[in-house]
Chain A
Amino acid sequence: MLHNTAQASPALNVVALVSVGAHPSSGRARRAEQDARAVELGLRLAGEQLEVLHAGDPQQPALRSYLGMGLQQLHVIEQPAQADVISALHDYLQDSDAQLILTGSQAETGEGSGMLPFLLAEQLGWPMVVGLTEVEHIGNGIAQVLQALPRGQRRRLKVRLPFIASLDNAAPAARQSAFGPARRGELLSHAAEANPDALLSESPLQPARPRPKRLKIITAKTGAERMKAATAKASGGGGQIIKGDSPEAGAEAIFKLLVDEGVLR
C-alpha cells in the first residue's frame, strides 16, 4: 500500500499517544483502532521522527502491533493497571519538545471516557482539536487542519502549535501491522511515579449496555426516497420555537407535543 499523501516534514515533532485496545467481538487485546489511526497520521506527518508513547505495562504484547506499522521504537511510561496516567503523561510531555500530540477519541479499554486529551490539554495549557481527519499543512507555527463534522462535512481550522488533537474515525485507516518489524521494534520503558485513580479504585466497573435506539419507521416507497431518508440532513420541520410566551403557554406546548408523539396518553 502506498502512503504518500502527506509528505513528511522532518522539522515537526509529533507524538502519538496509544493505548491497548480490545477486539469488539472477542475482547482480546489488540492495537486500538483510533490510536492506530493517530500513529498512521503521525507517520504520514513526521515519518521516522514520530514518537509513539504509551503509559502502562511495557510487557504488553499488543503494543508490538503498533511497532509493526514500521516504528523503530515505542516509549512506554511504566504505570500500574489502575493508575491515573494523566500526570505521568503531563510530566513526560512537558519535558519533551512535542509540537503536536495525536490521540484517539476514546480508549477501547479501561474507563474509555475520552477525557484524556482534554485533561492533558488543560494541564499543558494547549489548545485541543476534536475529530481531526487531516493536517493540510503546517507553517509559521500554525497548522491548517480539517475537523470532521456529522454527515461527512468538514470544518477547516487554523491552530497555533503546539496543540493536542483527537482523531475521528474519518481519519485515514491505519496501515497493516507486519510481524517482522513488530518483533524487531523496541519497547523503551521509562520509570514514572504512579498516581492512583481515585474514581476507579472506589467505584466498580460494569459492562456498558448499548443505549436503546428509537425505531426508525421508513415510509419511503421508492429507492430514491429511501436514499434521501438515509442521507439527507435531519430537517426539523415540525419544530417550534417558544420565545417570550408565558411559562404556562410553554408548558402547554410541551404537553401537547408529548401527547402527539405518544409519550403521554
Chain B
Amino acid sequence: MMLNTLLPILLFAALALAVVGAFKRFAMWRRGKPAEVDWFGGLLAIPRRYMVDLHHVVARDKYIANTHVATAGGFVLAAVLAILVHGFGLHSAVLGYVLLAATALMFVGALFVAKRRFDPPARLSKGPWMRLPKSLLMFSASLFIATLPVAGILPAGFGGWLLAAILLVAITWGVSELFFGMTWGGPMKHAFAGALHLAWHRRAERFGGGRSTGLKALNLDDPQAPLGVEKPTDFTWNQLLGFDACVQCGKCEAACPAFAAGQPLNPKKLIQDMVVGLVGGSDAKFAGSPYPGKNIGEHSGGPHLPIVALDGKALVDAETLWSCTTCRACVEECPMMIEHVDAIVDMRRHLTLEKGATPNKGAEVLDNLIATDNPGGFAPGGRLNWAADLDLPVLADKRQCDVLFWVGDGAFDMRNQRTLRALVKVLKAAAVDFAVLGLEERDSGDVARRLGDEATFQQLAKRNIATLAQYTFKTIVTADPHSFHVLKNEYGALGGHYRVLHHSTYIEQLINAGDLNLGQHQNAAVTYHDPCYLGRYNGEYEAPRNVLNAIGIEVREMQRSGFRSRCCGGGGGAPITDIPGKQRIPDMRMVDIKETSAEIVAVGCPQCTLMLEGVVEPRPQVKDIAELVAEVLIEAAPKPSVKRQPAETSA
C-alpha cells in the first residue's frame, strides 16, 4: 500500500526540516543582545499565557477568536494524532475517529479563515497570507480522507493509486506550510515564534493580569558602549523573537493615530521591517499597507547594518520613528503582545544620544530641559508664579505632609494654570494636608525619555528623587498623567518608590470619603477623553468617570474610549518632532468627540487639554476634571459631621 509507506516518510521528513528550521531561526534571534529569561518556567507557562492572557486580547474579536480556536485546536490535535496514526502506524479505530474529528474541526475553522480572506479588510496583509486558508483546507481535507480507512469507514486501498497520489500531493502541500513552513518563515511562523515569544517575553509581568508599561532603563555606566539600538542585533534577543511572532493582523495599524493621520508610520510594517532586518533583505515582499507616503521596495537592511541612515535610505526612515506618539494603542491591540513602543524608543535613543538627530524642536527642548529643568526654557525661578496669590504650603518649609501635589510643567502654561488653580481649590475645600515642592520641582523627564534622551531623563529623575528623599509624605497627587506614569512606574528602577495618584483618582477618594461638598452640573452634555498615560499605561478608566457621575454628569462615551481611546497627538514628544501628515491627530479626535454631540469634553491631562484646545472653533469646550469639580464646589464648607453621602451625590 503506497500511502502507508510514503506517509510516514513524508511526515518525518517535514518534521525533521521543521527542527532544522527551528534551530536556524533560534540562532537568528540569539544574534541579539543577551537578556535574562526564565528558560524552563517560561516554557511551562506557555499554555496558560496562550489560553488566558493572549486569548483575552484575541477574544475582543469574537469571529477570529472562535475561528482560531477551531483551526489551531484542530490542527494541534490533528498533527499529534497524524504522527501517531500515520507516522508510527498506530492504526486504531478510536484514534482514527478522533483524528477525523480533529481534521473536521480544523476544516470548519479553515473555512471561516477563508471567508475572512474573501474580501479582507485593509489592515490584513495579503501575499502568502492569502495562501494560508487554502493550505489549511488542503491539509485538513486530505488528512481526513487519508484517515477514513483507519477508522474503518472506507476499505483500505479505496480509490486506488490515483486517489493516493492526489492525497500525497495535498498532504505534501499541507505539511510544507504547516510543519516546516512554521520555522522557515511562512505565515505559520507565528505559531512557533509566538509560542516562544510568550515563553520568554521581555515583560513577563504582563501575564496573569499584570501591567508593565514603564520604559526599561538604559545602562549608561559604560562610556565606551554605543547607546540605543543602531542595528537589529542591538535589540535584546527576545525582542527580536517578539518581532518574529507578528501575525500581520494589522490591529495595530487600525489603532495607530499616526497611521490614520497619514504620518509615515505603520506599526505592523515597522515590526515586519525589523524582521527584514533580522533576516536580511529588502521590504519588497511586504504585502500590507505601506508607511503612508512611502513606497514599498525601496528600503532594505540586515542584522549588522544600521536601521536608520540619516542621509539616504536604510531599513526605516527616521521620520517613521519620530511619528509615534507612544500612545500604546498598538501594544494594547496586539494579540501577540509585541512591544512596539519599546522598540521605537530604543531606536530613538540611538538617534538622540549618539547621532544628535532629534528632529525639529527636539534639540531645543532637550537643551532647555538640561539648562532650565523645563521644556519651554522658562526661568526656573518662575515655576511657582501661577500660584503667587494662593499662598501654597511649600514642602521645604513644612518638611512633611499627607499629599505632595506634583505640579508638573503645566505651571508654565497659562491654560493649564487654570486647571492647577482649580485643583488647589478642590484640595483646600477638602482640607487636605498638602504641599508643593515649589522651585525644587523639576520636569519629570517624561518628554526627554520619549525623545530618546535617556541621559537627561536619568539626570532629572535622580535629582527629583534626591529632592523627594528629603521630605516625608504619604502620597503624590498630580494632574499630569505623564508625570504620574513616570513617578509611579519609571522612577523605581532609579531608586524612587512612591505611592502616586492621578488627581481624578484622588478626587474620587475625597468624594467617597465625603470630604467634598459638591453641587450638580445642570444639563451639560459631556464626553470624556481617556488620556493614554492614565488609561492604557495605568489602567485607570473608572475614577474619572465616577467623579463625573458624582457631579451629576452622565458621560456620553465616544466609540473609541477606555482602552481603545484614540490619542490626542500630544504624547511621546510628537508635537515637538512634528512629523507632517495629511491631517492632525487632535482634529481626528475632535471629530470623535463631536460625534457624541457633547458640549464639553472632560480631560485629565495637560497635554490633551492643549492638543484639543488647539483644534479650531466651533468645537466643544475642553475642561479638566478638576475644573468641572471646582465649578460645582460649594465652598461654605459645612461642619465635618454634616457630610454628604456618596450615594446622594451620584443620584
Residues of A within 8 A of B (CB): 1-2, 4, 23, 25-26, 28, 30, 68-70, 175-181, 183-184
B635 to chain A, nearest CB (A): 37
Is the pair B352, A178 in contact by a Cβ cutoff of 8 Å?
yes
Q: Which residues of A contact B311 (CB under 8 A)?
A: 2, 4
Q: Which residues of A contact B310 (CB under 8 A)?
A: 1-2
Which of B223, B356, B372 sits near A178, CB closer than 8 Å?
B356
B380 contacts the other chain (CB 8 A):
yes
24 contacts between A and B (CB under 8 A): A1-B310, A2-B310, A23-B372, A23-B377, A25-B379, A26-B380, A28-B372, A68-B356, A69-B356, A70-B356, A175-B356, A176-B356, A176-B363, A176-B366, A177-B356, A177-B367, A178-B356, A178-B357, A179-B227, A179-B352, A179-B354, A179-B453, A179-B455, A181-B356
Is the pair A184, B224 in contact by a Cβ cutoff of 8 Å?
yes
Which residue in chain B gives the minimum CB-CB distance to A180?
A: B354
Is the pair A179, B371 in contact by a Cβ cutoff of 8 Å?
no
Residues of B within 8 A of A (CB): 223-224, 226-227, 310-311, 352-359, 362-363, 366-367, 370-373, 377-380, 453-456
A64 to B509, CA, bound (A): 48
Q: Which residues of B contact A178 (CB under 8 A)?
A: 352-357
A70 to B310, CA, bound (A): 15
Is the pair B371, A30 in contact by a Cβ cutoff of 8 Å?
yes
Is the pair B223, A1 in contact by a Cβ cutoff of 8 Å?
no
Q: Which residues of A contact B380 (CB under 8 A)?
A: 25-26
Q: Which residues of B contact A30 (CB under 8 A)?
A: 367, 370-371
A69 to B356, CA, bound (A): 8
6 further A-B pairs in the complex, CB-CB below 8 A; given A1-B356, A1-B357, A178-B352: A23-B377, A25-B371, A177-B356, A177-B363, A179-B455, A179-B456
Is the pair B371, A26 in contact by a Cβ cutoff of 8 Å?
yes
Is the pair B354, A181 in contact by a Cβ cutoff of 8 Å?
yes
A220 to chain B, nearest CB (A): 28
Is the pair B352, A28 in contact by a Cβ cutoff of 8 Å?
no
Is the pair A26, B359 in contact by a Cβ cutoff of 8 Å?
no
Which of A23, A25, A183 sits near B223, CB closer than 8 Å?
A183
A175 to B352, CA, bound (A): 12
A108 to chain B, nearest CB (A): 12
Q: Which residues of A contact B223 (CB under 8 A)?
A: 183-184
B198 to chain A, nearest CB (A): 34
Residue of A2, A26, A180 with highest tally of chain B CB at under 10 A: A180
Q: Which residues of A contact B224 (CB under 8 A)?
A: 184
Given contacts A30-B370, A178-B352, contact A25 B378 (CB under 8 A): yes
Q: Which residues of A contact B366 (CB under 8 A)?
A: 176
Is the pair A176, B358 in contact by a Cβ cutoff of 8 Å?
yes
Is the pair B354, A25 in contact by a Cβ cutoff of 8 Å?
no
Is the pair A25, B377 in contact by a Cβ cutoff of 8 Å?
yes
B270 to chain A, nearest CB (A): 22
Across the A-B interface, the 7 shortest Cβ-Cβ residue pairs: A178-B356, A176-B363, A176-B356, A23-B371, A25-B379, A179-B455, A180-B354
A38 to B334, CA, bound (A): 49
A184 to B224, CA, bound (A): 7
Q: Which residues of B contact A70 (CB under 8 A)?
A: 356
A254 to chain B, nearest CB (A): 43
Is the pair B356, A26 in contact by a Cβ cutoff of 8 Å?
no
A26 to chain B, nearest CB (A): 4
Q: Which residues of B contact A180 (CB under 8 A)?
A: 226-227, 353-354
Which residue in chain A gives the minimum CB-CB distance to B380?
A: A26
Q: Which residues of B contact A175 (CB under 8 A)?
A: 356, 363
Residue of A26, A69, A178, A183 with highest tally of chain B CB at under 10 A: A178
A34 to chain B, nearest CB (A): 15
A25 to B378, CA, bound (A): 6
A28 to B380, CA, bound (A): 11
A26 to B377, CA, bound (A): 8
A180 to B380, CA, bound (A): 27
Residue of A2, A69, A179 with highest tally of chain B CB at under 10 A: A179
